[in-house]
Each structure stands twice: as structure tokens, then as C-alpha cells.
Amino acid sequence: MKTIIRIKDIMESNRVRVFDFGRDIFLDQQLHCPACQNDLTVGGILVGEQSDEKIRYGVCSRCGYMGYIDRPTKKWMIDFYSTDWDQAFPRTVEQIKNGTILPGKGIKPERYISASLLQKIQPDRNKPFLEIGSGYGEVLKYFKEQGFKTVVGVENSQHRAEMVNRALGFTIFHGGFEEDNIQEKLAKFKPIGLVFSNHVLEHTYHPEDIIKKISFFQDIGDYLILSLPNAVGEHINYSFLYLVHLHSFTKESLEILLNRHGYEIVADNSPDEFSIAIAARKAQNPKSIFLLKSNYLELFKTRVKKGMSIDLLKSGTNELYWEQRSEYDFSRVIPRYKNNLVAAIIWKFKKLVALVNVHLRRFTIGYKLLIEPIEIGDDMSTEIRFPKNIKFLIK
């Protein structure tokens, strides 16, 4: 028997908003694992009860890769990143100039953990440095300070690319790294000694195409630094419900993808089970260091069980008020019961306060879900239902 859960309502935060996925958005399919090419097994299905839309989520039993089988077309995703992504909270020129990846200044250390892999490799600083997904330019500024003579960025968000060009004067190309016009512009920088990409690969449409094209710009001995969520620890909401995370890699699946295109992992700075941060070198005969496991379908099942609080739902809870306090902490789970008028009034009041805070740009602690268990089973397959259309979380 599969597990069926209905998400009755979602309360936004000031960093995550709710996106109503309508029938006017056309879908494309990814039937095979982008890492090892194995057929994907359906692990979850998102269902819009009124619209009758269905989106499947897949798992690779061979290497542990997880990702959407059905997703919006590549053109739709590129257009979304170019014009709509993270538009609510743009930075000023002054903020960009003062931006840093160094920890201890109120800045999350994720990018610094990845950037500090530089101390474990020996790239040629006379060759260009390229960042894919250069954001607001903090990483470009850091690597320039580390002695790279030429730093170049590619950024899919138009407003970010323009702001960094204005504030820092770096060469930032607006568009998707894999697009023909961007490839043509980057060709003059070949060979590129070090390519850096922080939490971008999981957003790309065809990650295998990204790695293949990175390889085209590099010589044997050049380096690649990648960081991305780890499927082992990433909360299931950032897979099922976070539309822009099209992919979720294990270390094993990421290494298979890199090996296929001539890279071997030479350093690992991964801080915990939530994130992967590795450096890879282009090699003539790339070696692998991670051994494949045989329990990836069970891993997915465990991930859903933990993330969806299945044990609590099994105990007979009729409704669950589920609050995210930080990116990885979903510990505030409060049982609620049907026909509880007071609980319903409190929920509506909190939702109104959150909505006002979002519009006033005040801090609100994460987003909140109101979920209702319909059927709790032991099979791997999970169905997430929405009363009307499927809803996703986006920035």
C-alpha cells in the first residue's frame, strides 16, 4: 500500500514563495538517470486533484540519483531563471561591492567551504577562472584576490548579471552556460584552468550536457569545483516541492557523471550529509573512489519517511502543521485535528501575518505546510495531492 498525503495549504516566507503550476505549462520527460543512464523508478507522484495534473518523481536504483521524471520544458525553465528567479529581493550596488564569501561576517559559509578546496588543488592561475551561476559576484571577487588573472562569470538571472557588471566590472555573460551563444563567447577563454559552480548543477536541465561542455573548455590536468545538495540528507521537500531542484545527486551518482566525461574526484570538502563539495581533475583515465551501494530505493523510502513525518502520521494525527525553521530543520511538527475551530482560526491568522511580513520584507521563519494524511502505507511510492493545482516552492 502506498502513502498518500494531501497538502491542504502552504504559508509563504519572505525567501520562498508558492508557485501555482497550471495546465498551461507544458511538460517534458526525463526517463533515464543522467548519471548512469539507468531507467528511473517512480518513487513519488504529485497530483492536482482539480486540474488532474500529474508529475512523477524518479529514483535510480543503481547509483541513487533522484529527480523529476516530468518537468517543465527547457525553454520554460530558462525563461523563468532569466526573468522571474529571485526577483523579490535584489541587492544594491553597494551590497554587491561589500559582498563576501568569508565566514564570520553574517554570511553562510557554504560557498567558502567549496572555494577553500582551492587549497587542496594546484590550478594554473594564469589560465582563466570561470564560475557557472556567478550570482552577485562574491566568488569571482574571492578568486581574483587569490591570484587568478582573468575571472569570468555566467549567470542566468539578467538582473544579477547586470548588477555585478555595474558594481564590480567583471565579465558576466547573461544566459545558460550550455546555450550556443554563451559557448561561443566562452570559446575565446579556452583553456579554462578552473571551473567553479556552487549549487547550480541541481538546477540545470541536462546536467550531463553541462559537464560534457565544461570538459570541452579544459585540458588534461585542469580542475572543476562543484557543490550541490546531497540526496542522502537533503530534505524531501527540496526534491518533491522545490521546482528548481530538478536533480538530487548522491556522491556516487555525481562521480559516475564526472567519470563519464573525463574527471576524477581529487578532494572532498563535503561538510555533512546535506551537501556535497568536491574538486575534480580532468584525467586521461579517470578513477573512482566511491563504491556503489545496493539500497538506494530504501534510501529514498527513508528520506520520505523522515521528511514527511510518517511515524507521526501513523499515530493517527488527522492534520499536521509543519514549519521549516531553517534550510535543513523541519523539526517543528505540530499535530492538529479536524473540526478544531480554534486551530483553524490560528492558522488563518498566522497566514495573514506571514503574508503581510512578506510584502513588508520582514523576516519570517521559513515556510509552513498544512498536511492531511489520507493513506499511510509501507511501499516506496508516495503520492502528494493538492486540492486544486499542483503547487511548488520557488524563490
Is 171 inside a domain boundary?
yes
Is 26 inside a domain boundary?
no
Compute the mean pLDDT over every residue in the chain, rounded to the nearest whole number. 86
Look at residues 203, 215, 189 and name the one whose alpha carbon lies nearest to residue 133: 203
Is 20 inside a domain boundary?
no
* Position 111 pLDDT exceeds 90: no
Is 348 inside a domain boundary?
no
Give the model confidence (pLDDT) of 301-332 as tens digits: 999 988 888 887 777 666 676 666 555 555 55
Q: How confident is the model at residue 339 (pLDDT cuts 50, 70, 90)?
A: low
Element (H, E) at 267: strand 263-268
Is 368 inside a domain boundary?
no
State the burial class of residue 187 (Cβ atoms within 10 Å of its Cβ: 0-12, 13-18, 19+). Answer: exposed
Look at residues 174, 162, 173, 170 and name the one whose alpha carbon lies nearest to residue 138: 170
CATH number at residue 260: 3.40.50.150
Q: β-strand 27-29 against 17-21: which pairing, if any? A: unpaired
C-alpha cell at 349: 491568522
CA-to-CA dists, residue 303 to 239, 297, 309, angstroms: 10, 10, 10
Alpha helices in 146-221 (DSSP H): 158-168, 180-186, 207-216
Give me the pLDDT at residue 336, please: 60
Element (H, E) at 293: none
Q: How many domains does the chain have?
A: 1
Is 274 inside a domain boundary?
yes
Give the total residue count for the chain.
395
Assess contact for 12 and 358: CB atoms under 8 A: yes
Q: Taking residues 229-233, what's their average pLDDT?
A: 93
Better-scored residue on pLDDT, 153 or 347 = 153
Look at residues 348, 354, 322, 311 and name the one whose alpha carbon lies nearest to residue 240: 322
Q: What is the pTM of this model?
A: 0.89
Element (H, E) at 57: strand 54-59
Domain extent, residue 169, equals 93-282
Give me the pLDDT at residue 41, please: 97
Q: How confident is the model at residue 92 (pLDDT cuts 50, 70, 90)?
A: low
Is 327 inside a domain boundary?
no
CA-to-CA dists, residue 10 to 196, 238, 256, 298, 317, angstroms: 35, 14, 37, 28, 18
Is 320 inside a domain boundary?
no
Q: How confident is the model at residue 24 (pLDDT cuts 50, 70, 90)?
A: confident
Q: Taking residues 129-144, what's their average pLDDT?
A: 90
State the angle between helix axes of 207-216 and 251-260 in degrees (0 to 180), rounded to the nearest 10.
40
* Position 158 pLDDT exceeds 90: no
Give me the pLDDT at residue 362, please: 60
Residue 302 phi/psi, 5° resolution? -65, -40
Rounded-to-integer distance, Cα 12 and Cα 314, Å:
27
* Position 210 pLDDT exceeds 90: yes
Assess contact for 126 and 149: CB atoms under 8 A: yes
Give me the pLDDT at residue 363, please: 60
3 state SS of 138:
helix
